[in-house]
Structure 1
Amino acid sequence: MSQLLRRLGLRANPFATLSAELEPDIDQYFIRPPYYRYVNERGLRCQTFILFGERGSGKSATRLTLKNEGWKKIQNNSENAALPVTLDDYSEILSRGIRNVAVGDFVRRVCFLTVEAVFVWLAALSSSDREVFVDGLDEDETKLVVSVIREFYLPVPELARRVSTRQALELLNQAWRLRTRLWAEHRWDALISVVASIASSIGRKVADVDMPLEEHVGKLVGSPAGKGVDVSIFARASLQRVVDFVRLFGFNGIMVLVDKVDETPSTDKSAQATAELLHPLLSNTQLLEIDGLGWVFFLWDKVNDLYSDNGPLTVRLDKISNTTIRWEVSSLRALIAQRLQYFSDGEVQSFSDICDGHIDAEEAVESMISLAMSSPRELVRIMDTVLREHEQVHDDSNDTPLVSLASIEGALDRYVSERVKEIYKPEILRQVIRLNQMTFVNKDVQARFRVNDSSARNRIKKWEDSGVIVHTGSRRAEGVATAGGKPAFQYTVIDQRVRRILDREIHLGEQFEFDFDEDEGEESDGEEGEGEDN
């Protein structure tokens, strides 16, 4: 793609990856919609906040941008800088199964990550700067530091510490540019050894002092499932202790960034399991109100209803500041422009700059945003498809022209064809395509598939559960007097990708050809209803 990118004035593909973690400079071109202000203000002030959002809505990009801004404040020696701590790996917390997760599991993990973050930060300093902090501790401060290290850091096996430390170093490297030659060369093993030596050198300062585990830590460790003891008291004491620990090194407090809760093997396909994993922590509001400790949660929006007052896992959301990601069209337009500007060093200002003069670029962008269903991730995927389609169309050309309308339309057709197969089960797509109506009622389904009322209702319910259609009102009964007849529920195909397939009669392959034989034996779960009530 290098020839195409050069022709378009780009040094790299601005849309090459769908994972924010693989974009080290994402804070340079991340669009900051209105919701970001709330996240930023509360996070940097060590105040708890929940950001709900659909998958692909930009939660991880927001988290990485906030983390980077936090580290930049530290690098610039800003007053009241919070220490960013990222919690996005739950393997240890889930080691006994999701049913046995307790608040103590979160506390121990966050305390470990906090101590690790301080050590990684110290490793990024020059030797002389590091000595200022380490040698400047008085006896009582040193005892606090050593006790926290012994209680929360050293009990973790060395191999696990090394793996975790490498991840922490890589995260810091994104935000804190190339501090030393070792960082520049990504010699992580050498840097991990530096971190380990820092822990050892501090520990040796009071090696002759008998410092057993504090009572609250013993309670947390001795009651792994959090049963038979009021763990909350000891959990709060432990968290307050690590806040005191980080303040000894000049930080105002701790900003815990909790992300990817729905991306574990136990939670990937279940909003219920995702909600259950965090419930022990979110239901304990006292742990969310510790001075100097702010939890910033980036959560799948499907867990919101499960935490409501009427939900199965009650959480006092009225006591926790929260908002839901909403992307305006203007912000999504800016997303495309900002990436193009960054990856062209300002030479390309908008999508129209890489299109030929016959294209209405604004209309093309509107179409792409519509197909992306207002998802930043999907919009990036579409833009990448457009560039690749254009390259393929002109693969044999010596001089690749600017992006054409044919390339855009071909890319959008390819995108919808590939994406819907990833999102929906084949039987759902076969049936909706066979119906071939954007808006319909139960009788339309009965007539098209030659099934009874209950079978049609069952089928519509599956489509609705999949998210391809939504209930959009009622349609007056046909063929009866105005005073009689029950209105029929009306449904509309809501997924714009499926609508494009229907509009343009895009062929998805033989697997998606409808066969009436699949209706054989399909019966309702109950008796047929009276009238057309669904």
Structure 2
Amino acid sequence: MSYNKLMNNIGFDADPFAKTNADDEERLRMYFIEPPFYNAVYGNPDEADSKIVFAPRGSGKTALKKMIENKSQEDNLLCISYNNFDIGKLKLQEIDMDYHLINIIRLIVVALITSIEEKGLSKLSETDRHYLYLFVKNYLSDIEQIELESSIDSVKNFSDKAKEWWNKFLGPIGIVINVLLTRIGIDKVEIEKFDRQGGSLGRPQYQLQILQRLSSKIGHNSIYVLIDRVDEYSFTGNATNSYKFIKDLLTNLNILEIKGIGFKFFLWDLILEDYQIEARPDRIKYYNLSWKKNQLKSMLSERLKAYSDKKIKSLEDICEFEVNNNSGLGIDDIIILLSQGSPRNIIRICKEILDQQSEINYSHNKITKEAFVKGIEVFSKNYTHESIDERVINDLIKVNRLDFTVRYIYNDVFKFTQQAGISKVKIWQDSGIIEKIGTIQDTIGAKPSNLYIIKSLLVGKYIFSNLDIFEFIETKTYKCKQCGEMLFRDWDINNKSICSNCQVDVEKYKSQISFFD
């Protein structure tokens, strides 16, 4: 109740940061900001094509997929979402093309039946109805109730009322197939005829082509298959396994170029390197999802407006303090900077700040500086421990730097051999914790050394827990005057470095600059 009171006092009709999963966000349409290639990924429903989107976790892949689902309701197409992967007792190496196609075909069959219930099957020939009979028999005869409910939920371009029609066939004994066929217009005599004739649907690839033709005949221009959440299962938790799981479908041009079917993939960017070995961008175009700072700022603003009857447009509107720093960053800018391009991180950081304000004083109608500082401190700690192994965290705390060379690691911090230092840094780099940004001359007369930085500013903030967020921004960030890139370095230790974006030499000096220049 105290948290709800805080929301009301501030001016929200509900918590704008309660949910981080786009599939659960009822007001997504009100604050969704289109990435530059949104229309290209959606494509032309009259000429369906396959596209791939790569992005880091939390960067809005599911939100993009969700908006394509919503848009599909306005166009004359069949749209299903393939993101529920039950491998049962199969091993990862046993997941092949047929596994994916059989699951996708079942979803399309459910979508097709849903559409036929609305549109009827008068335009289908006897042969078409025979195929429909075989699809229902093959894919729905032994389907379990939970699996059917999941399949119905995967159909995205029909109203809830249309999908409620399936409730007549849900029950502990599964679907009564003949009753289902009768309800969609295949009478008892025709069912008995098809039953006597038998028949085969052929290979899954051919089945997809048949389904596309049936879908077209009842009035759909194309079929969209949206593939998401590949990396969110225990068997796909790392990039290598995620790629192995989806590889057969992702790289099969014969499937991805079936006329009238558009496969839209929303995948973890860490599998891109493996994919590029076999990629054919001349045939299947792929995109890297990245947000500009202005887009993220607009996204935050629109979310705040959606939950406040458009009265609150920024965090600064509901904070009782102001920020003064040499970087020129405002309150919203700091949140966006810490998120490093992740809409999910923005939501979670803001949620933690409001949680802290609720603990400090829920009767307040503004966010205090204390809550803001504490919220970022708590979230950076939680984020770091979620993302990185405890032993590595302890090592990074001991290093106590945002940027460093291998020489610094083995000579100044751990005081062991050069090879041990090289091995440790390589492990951090392979895990995505640090990245190489160039070279520097760290010893007079020696060869230049590779310079590495901690990739996540949230991890950096946790390492420097002795600094509040404003001190951290002041001493560890600087904007390159050449290209405008925000650089994360130990400027308080060395005011000279290189820009990882434009590779020019940078010397930090005091000046008022704008984050969004």
Q: Is the Cα–Cα contact under 8 Å of residues 88 and 258 in structure 1 kept in the other structure? A: yes
**Partners of 2:108 and 2:157 in 1: how far apart?**
17
The answer to whether structure 1 residue 103 and structure 2 residue 97 are counterparts is yes
1:247 aligned partner: 216
What is the match of residue 495 of structure 1?
Answer: 456
Q: What residue identity is the alignment partner of 1:46? A: A
CA contact 2:22–2:62 (8 Å) conserved in 1? yes
**TM-score w.r.t. length of structure 2:** 0.80
CA positional deviation for 1:192: 3.9
Displacement of 1:38 in angstroms is: 1.5
Which one of the candidate residues 208, 213, 233 is aligned to 2:192?
Answer: 208
Count of residues paired in the alignment: 455
The CA distance in 2 between the partners of 1:354 and 1:391, in whole Å, is 14
Per the normalisation by structure 1, the TM-score is 0.78
* Residue pair 1:476, 1:488 contacting (<8 A) in 2 also: yes
Quote how far apart the aligned CAs of 1:48 are.
0.6
Q: Deviations over 1:188-231 (max 9, x none)?
A: 845747996544434545112135564452xxxxxxxxxxxxxx
Decide which of 150, 155, 169 is 1:167's aligned counterpart.
150
Partner amino acid, structure 1, of 2:192 = D
Give the 3-state SS of the residue equivalent to 1:410 in structure 2: helix
- 8 Å Cα contact 1:235-1:287 kept in structure 2: no
State the shift of 1:3 in Å. Answer: 0.8
Confirm or deny: 8 A CA contact 1:352 1:362 kept in the other structure. no
- Which residue, out of 397, 408, 411, partners 2:375? 411
Q: Choose from 169, 176, 179 the match for 2:161.
A: 179
Contact persistence 1:368–1:379 (CA under 8 A): yes
* Equivalent pair of 1:359/1:405 in contact (CA under 8 Å): no
- Is 1:472 aligned to residue 437 of structure 2? yes
Is 1:53–1:301's contact at 8 Å kept on the other side of the alignment?
yes
Q: Does 1:394 align with 2:361?
A: yes
The answer for the alignment partner of 1:117 in structure 2 is 111
Report Cα offsets for 1:411-431 as digits up to 9, x if no partner.
111111111011111221112
CA offset digits 1:58-102 (Å, max 9, x no partner): 1111111111210233xxxxxxx110011112225x653222233
Q: Is the 8 A contact 1:413 1:506 kept in 2?
A: no
SS of structure 2 residue aligned to 1:451: coil
Compute the displacement of 1:16 (Å). 0.8
Measured in 2, the distance between the counterparts of 1:281 and 1:102 equals 8
CA–CA distance in 1 between the matches of 2:355 and 2:418?
A: 46
Contact 2:353 2:376 in 1 (8 A): yes
Q: 2:39 aligns with which of 23, 28, 37?
A: 37
Pairing 1:336-375 to 2, within 5 Å after superposition: 336-356=300-320, 358=322, 363-375=330-342
Q: Name the CA shift for 1:63/1:18 in 2 (closer, same or farther; >3 Å).
A: same
Please give the alpha-carbon distance, in whole angstroms, between the structure 2 residues aligned to 1:16 and 1:44. 38
Distance 1:405 1:464 in 2: 35
- d(CA) in 2 for partners of 1:493, 1:106: 38
**2:54 partner SS:** strand
**Considering only aligned residues, what root-mean-square deviation do their CA atoms show, in Å?**
2.9
**Equivalent residue number for residue 385 of structure 1:** 352
Aligned counterpart for 2:78 among listed residues 80, 83, 100: 83
The verdict on how the C-alpha distance between 1:239 and 1:455 changes in structure 2, with shifts beyond 3 A counting, is: same
Give the C-alpha shift of residue 325 in structure 1.
Answer: 0.4
Partners in 2 of 1:291 and 1:370 — Cα distance?
Answer: 43
Q: Is residue 2:228 matched to residue 1:259?
A: yes
Distance in 2 between the 1:321 and 1:288 partners?
11
Distance 1:91 1:178, change over 3 A: closer
Change (3 A) 1:435 1:158: closer
**1:263-342 residue pairs with structure 2 within 5 A?**
263-268=232-237, 270-309=238-277, 314-342=278-306
| C-alpha distance in structure 1 between counterparts of 2:100 and 2:18, whole Å | 35
How far the C-alpha of 1:141 sits from its partner, in A, is 3.9
Alignment match, 2:486: none
Q: 1:138 and 1:43, CA in 2 relative to 1: closer, same or farther beyond 3 A?
A: closer
User: Does structure 2 conserve the Cα–Cα contact (< 8 Å) formed by 1:83 and 1:251?
Assistant: yes
Contact 2:13 2:308 in 1 (8 A): yes
Shifted more, 458-467 versus 352-361: the winner is 352-361
Structure 1 CA distance for aligned equivalents of residues 140 and 153 of structure 2 = 21
Q: Which residue is equivalent to 1:158?
A: 143
What is the DSSP-based 3-state SS (H/G/I as helix, E as strand, rest coil) of the residue aligned with 1:158? Answer: coil
| Secondary structure of 1:295 counterpart | strand
Structure 2 portions without partners, runs of 5+: 469-517
C-alpha distance in 1 between matches for 2:152 and 2:140: 18
Identity of aligned residues (%): 22
Structure 1: stretches of 5+ with no match in the other structure: 74-80, 124-129, 218-233, 508-534
- Check the 8 A contact 2:107/2:154 in 1, yes or no: no
Shift of 1:17: 1.5
| Secondary structure class of the residue paired with 2:130 | helix
Q: 2:24 aligns with which of 4, 22, 25?
A: 22
